[in-house]
Amino acid sequence: MSTPSNSTTMLYLVPLIIMSCMRFVLAANFHRDFDILWGNGRGSILSNGKIVRLSLDEYSGSGIQTKCPYFFLRIDMQIKLIPGNSAGTVTAFYLASEGDKRDEIDIEFLGNLTDEPYTVHTNIFTKGNGSREQQFHLWFDPTRNFHTYTITWNPFMIVMYVEGTPIRVFKNMESNGVPYLKDMPMRVYLSLWDGDQWATRGGTVKTNWSESPFKAWFRNYKVRGCVWMNGESSCSSGSSNTVKHDWYNLKELDSSSKEMLKLVQHKHMFYSYCNDSSRFPHGFPLECDEK
């Protein structure tokens, strides 16, 4: 029996890859849409692709990534965090491009001692530069049930949501000299890892490995996005698939969402780089002036 040439094989494989990526926009299945990235068996896709369980012990954590990169998207992810003494652990839900000069949008959940609140640590990197941290305490117990966390990234702004409530906005202010995330596609990542050098009270509370393995759970994600394939976005201006949806065209929060954002930041945000004069003695970053 003859075997196909490499070029012929690629002709068959490329349409399959494209179909998989396009289906990812429309439906949700971890088996089909994500690859286990690391962890040597500590990351598991369960229930016919409906649930991911990530595990962390003293030897390793675990993580997964989407098969397809995206160039703008909205993703909702239901997460149930580690119960009990989770000090030192970091459960992460984020977008990132490749390379040292990466773009990145982070939502990281920093564990704590039993009955102490989790910290939601957020950050935004542009071309490898971060230092845009904002931190919050949640207004519910994120370990008892699944809760929905959302990242919207479009040409105009980045918005992070908790249970539909906006907690952080980062606008495209390139006209004012602020770099924005619009040059590199990004994949979606989920990971669980040991961050006890910094994660809990600045690293003063260490991971208690006698309570490992620690486990976090993910399910019911929904992606609406622009697939990046062969150097082009499925939402490019010349494409018939140009996005017309609300998430892509969102330029401003509505008045109700702005009020919710203000309330959450007043009651639940306990750190913002835009208020830390010790880090910026010569003036805050330009985006801190945006109201």
Provide mean pLDDT across the span 81-105: 96
Q: Which pLDDT band holds residue 128 (cuts at 50, 70, 90)? A: very high
Catalytic-residue membership of 104: yes
Q: 287 an active-site residue? A: no
Whether 9 maps to a domain, the answer reads no
Question: 8 lies in a domain?
Answer: no
The total domain count for the chain is 1
Percent of the chain exceeding pLDDT 90 equals 82
Query: What is the C-alpha to C-alpha distance for residues 261 and 14, in angstroms, rounded to an integer?
Result: 43
Dihedral over Cα of 29, 32, 36, 40: its sign: positive
Does 13 reside within a domain? no
Relative to beta strand 89-96, strand 187-194 is: antiparallel
In a domain, 15, yes or no: no
| Domain that residue 51 falls in | 34-289
Report yes or no on 17 lying in a domain. Answer: no
Residue-level pLDDT at 4:
38
pLDDT greater than 60 at residue 35: yes
Q: What is the CATH number of the domain that holds 82?
A: 2.60.120.200
Report field, pTM of the whole predicted structure over 0.85 = yes
Q: Residue 9: enclosing H or E segment and its boundaries?
A: helix 6-26
Residues near 67 by Cβ (< 8 Å), separated by ≥ 6? 20, 21, 24, 32, 33, 34, 35
pLDDT at 42 over 80: yes
Catalytic pick among 58, 104, 174, 232: 104
Which of 58, 98, 108, 133 is the catalytic position?
108
